[in-house]
Amino acid sequence: MMMAIMIVDDEPVNTMVLEQLLHQHNYETIAVSSGEDALELLMDPQAPSRYDLVLLDVEMPGISGIETCKRIRQMAGYEELPVIMVSGRTEEKQIAEGLDAEASDYTTKPIKITELLARIRSALRYKAAVDERKKYEARLQYDLDLAQKIQQSALTPPISNEEIDVRALYLPSKKLAGDMYAWFQVAPDRYGVIIFDVMGHGVSSALITMGIRSILPGLVGNVQYPADVMSELNRQMTFLFSGEDMQSYFTAVYCYIDTTRRRIEYVNAGHPPVIVTSDEGVCHLETTGVPVGMFEEPNYEAKEIALKPGMVLHMYTDGLMECYSKDIDDGIRWLEKDIATYGAGYADHVAERLVPKIEIDDDLCLVTVKLV
């Protein structure tokens, strides 16, 4: 396909000479006599894919070449369009003005044919590389969007009945997240709820997250009890990511809720403490073991608390603490204070008031479990 070059020059003779020269070298040309006409053509929605380079005269009536170049750069889709400025003046100041206007290159009159053609070839090679990069970025963006939809589809929908209400707030810092949650009704009166946070961010942690998420339904259905669930997850992690270049781990909390026995059994594998509120006050489900995948055969200790009417479990990842403070203890104190202040509306407070005020640089997840 022939490359298309726009010639912007108010002198008909100059335009004719350039057109003949470029046609001889298999370039298509489009000629206009003013900066205004050039900008009008470039405003066409199809124009960014139509023009490959602009040869722009500096001295023209109306809008100068330098001002035209500045306006081109302000137009969407033309940030990297090659613009070669052509001028009869050779002063360093004017050359600097052209380059400051973000021209790609600068040449002087009388035109030296060999030099001009070389500059055009160089600019078009650059444009070809830019176009190829944009195609790659578009393909990558498509893949990321699809992966995000797949990850979002793995999120467990809320559950609400006469015994329990479980729902989540999920805010990834990037397209893909290393945070994940899930809950399962493993028997008519028993529920398993897990939240976990894979080391790192982006694609690599998201792949691990989805791998772990995919094995949870079968694992929780067959094993159920928190210490056994964590031990099996650890076995899977060390099996899949045992090499030095692949080592990874995640923190997690798994709560096994028995509404008949009125007990909550849990394991906290290096995760931020679950904040439990009830009419009797506040308590924390602190760490009972190391992060999953950090060691080959860790010992996970399960603990129990009594299930009290009106009890609420607030399970979250460290991204929520960091909304308050980079200091862990300070972040937990502020988090606990806001939970006491906003109660059942805490998740709405985080989404509508807390997060919009800051720029989150970590994935954020909050699971709220309300018990009757």
The pLDDT value given to residue 241? 73
Structure confidence by residue, pLDDT tens digits, 309-339 = 999 999 999 989 888 888 888 999 999 999 9
The pLDDT value given to residue 359? 73
Residue 350's nearest CA partner among 321, 311, 372, 327 is 321
Residue at token pair 């195609």: 135
CATH level 2 (architecture), domain 3-145: 3-Layer(aba) Sandwich (3.40)
The pLDDT value given to residue 72? 95
Structure letter (DSSP) for residue 363: -
Q: Place 244 in a pLDDT band, splitting at 50, 70 and 90.
A: low
Question: The dihedral of CA 43, 46, 49, 55: what is its sign?
Answer: negative
The average confidence (pLDDT) of the chain is 91
Q: The CATH number of 154-371 is which of 3.60.40.10, 3.30.413.10, 3.40.50.620, 3.20.20.20?
A: 3.60.40.10
Domain boundaries, the chain: 3-145, 154-371
Rounded average pLDDT over 77-87: 92
What is the chain's length? 372
The pLDDT value given to residue 246? 64
Task: Tell whether the model's pLDDT for residue 260 goes beyond 70.
Answer: yes
The pLDDT value given to residue 230? 96
* Long-range CB contact pairs, 297-300, < 8 A, 24+: 297/234, 298/231, 298/234, 300/226, 300/227, 300/230, 300/231, 300/234, 300/267, 300/269
Structure confidence by residue, pLDDT tens digits, 201-230 = 778 888 889 999 999 999 998 888 999 999
Structure confidence by residue, pLDDT tens digits, 4-24 = 999 999 999 999 999 999 999
User: For residues 160 and 185, what is the distance between their CA atoms, to the nearest angstrom?
Assistant: 11
Q: Comparing 185 with 344, which gets the higher pLDDT? A: 185
Structure confidence by residue, pLDDT tens digits, 38-76 = 999 999 998 988 999 999 999 999 999 999 999 999 999
